Structure 1
Amino acid sequence: MLELDNLSVRFGGLTAVNTVSLKVGSEDVVGLVGPNGAGKTTLFNAISGLVRPSSGAISFHGKSILRTPMHQRARLGIGRTFQIPQPMHELTVRENLIVAQRFGTGKVNERRIDEVLDFTGLADKAERHAATELALTELKALEVAKALATNPSLLLLDEVLAGLETHGKRRFMGMLKDLHARFKVGILIIEHDIETISALCPRVAVLNFGQLIADGAPDAVFRDPEVVRSYTGAAHA
């Protein structure tokens, strides 16, 4: 489904993503981890079209999307959330989904919106003012709901669990597992908590200084000496 081939993103003299090659299939749930500043969100921005790669290739369902605008990538099936929830001000929860869906698909499907509201636990909040009347857990759910409303085949989830207390995090993890099974969507998720990512993802990819240094099962990846060094602050080899 998604394939990155030697992808690099540079900002002046800074290389934020350095020749990363990665594949994510429709059946995959892949955790993307690494220290702060490793390039994880920049990689998401390159995939979704917010930044232009300096070199390398991005293909989706076998076709290059390197020069495809962001809204067209959404319509091809790439949905994403942002680390800091971004509800659309002055709009209700339902209206947030309608705007997101129109952007991502070019039309409005009320049945899909109702299904997503019910799945994310926001059905009873549908007419609430999104920016001022939702708790943090609900704002995180709204981020996922907006992405789901676009009927994606790939979800890029940027730290959707960050800031949640233990009970909220556990409930959210359950929802993400159900999401993968119910909506048949591939998932690439950024998360800092190793225990959480190990429980959620059968596969983990690790970035450090913009480079992919490991990709595999969580037990093997988190025992990799280079991964251990990256998390303990040792100098990059």
Structure 2
Amino acid sequence: MLQLENVTVRFGGLTAVNDVSMTIGKDDLVGLVGPNGAGKTTLFNAISGLAQPTAGRIGFDGIDMLRMPLHRRARLGIGRTFQIPQPMHQLTVRENLVVAQRFGTGKVDRAHIDDILTFLNLWDKADRDAATELALTELKALELGKALATSPKVLLLDEVLGGLETAGKRHFMDTLRRIHERYRTGILIIEHDIETIMNLCRRVCVLNFGSLMADGAPAEVFRDPEVVKSYTGGAHA
């Protein structure tokens, strides 16, 4: 479904993503890990259209997305969350989902929005101000809801578990598993906590200095001496 071929992103003299190739299908739940500054969010930006690759190809269901604007990528099936929740100010939770859905699909399906609100336990907050009346866990759920409202085939989740306590992480991990199964959505998730990745994902990709240094089963990848070295600082400044 989502296919990256030799994707490189440069900002002036800095190579943020270097010759990365990977595929994400609808049955995949993949962790994307690596030290701070490894290029993970930049790779997400390249896929979703916020950063323009300087080389390589990004395809989705056989369609070349490299020069495609953000809304057309969303309508193909790319859903995206951000590390810091970004609710639309002065709009209710429900209205946030409506705006996201219209952007991502070109129409409004209120039954689907109601289903998402119920699924993410946001029904009771549907008419609250999204920017001022939600707790952190609810803001995280809203980020997921906005992405789901676009009817994605692949979800790019940028540290959606970040800042949550252990119980909150476990709840969200269960939610992501249920999203993956119920909506038949492929997931690529950026996450720093290795234990979370080990418990959640069947596959993990490791970036370091913008390059893909490992791609495989978590138990194998995290035994790789070079991966361990990158996390302990020996291979990353």
After TM superposition, the score normalised by the length of structure 2 is 0.99
Residue aligned with 1:214, SS? strand
| Structure 2 residue aligned with 1:71 | 71
CA distance in 2, matches of 1:134, 1:111: 23
Quote the offset at 1:62 in angstroms. Answer: 1.0
Quote the offset at 1:123 in angstroms. Answer: 0.8
Matched length: 236
Question: What are the superposed Cα offsets for residues 75-134 of structure 1, whole Å, 9 maximum, x if unpaired?
Answer: 001000000000000000000000000000001000000011111110110000000000
List structure 1 runs of 4+ shifted beyond 2 angstroms: none
1:122 and 2:122 matched: yes
Residue aligned with 1:131, SS? coil
| Structure 2 residue aligned with 1:93 | 93
In the TM superposition, 1:1-237 aligns within 5 A as: 1-235=1-235
Residue aligned with 1:164, SS? coil
Residue aligned with 1:53, SS? coil
What amino acid is aligned across from residue 221 of structure 2 in structure 1?
A: V
What amino acid is aligned across from residue 29 of structure 2 in structure 1?
A: V
What amino acid is aligned across from residue 192 of structure 1 in structure 2?
A: H
**Sequence identity of aligned pairs in percent?**
72
CA distance in 2, matches of 1:159, 1:202: 17
Extract unaligned runs of 5+ from structure 2.
none
CA distance in 1, matches of 2:66, 2:128: 38
Quote the offset at 1:4 in angstroms. Answer: 0.4
Question: What are the superposed Cα offsets for residues 36-91 of structure 1, whole Å, 9 maximum, x if unpaired?
Answer: 00000000000000010010000000111101101100000100000000000000
What amino acid is aligned across from residue 221 of structure 1 in structure 2?
A: V
Extract unaligned runs of 5+ from structure 1.
none
Residue aligned with 2:30, SS? strand
CA distance in 2, matches of 1:234, 1:54: 29
Q: Which stretch of structure 1 is more off in the superposition, 115-124 or 89-98?
A: 115-124
CA distance in 1, matches of 2:226, 2:19: 18
Quote the offset at 1:235 in angstroms. Answer: 3.1
| CA RMSD across the alignment | 0.6
After TM superposition, the score normalised by the length of structure 1 is 0.99
What amino acid is aligned across from residue 37 of structure 1 in structure 2?
A: G
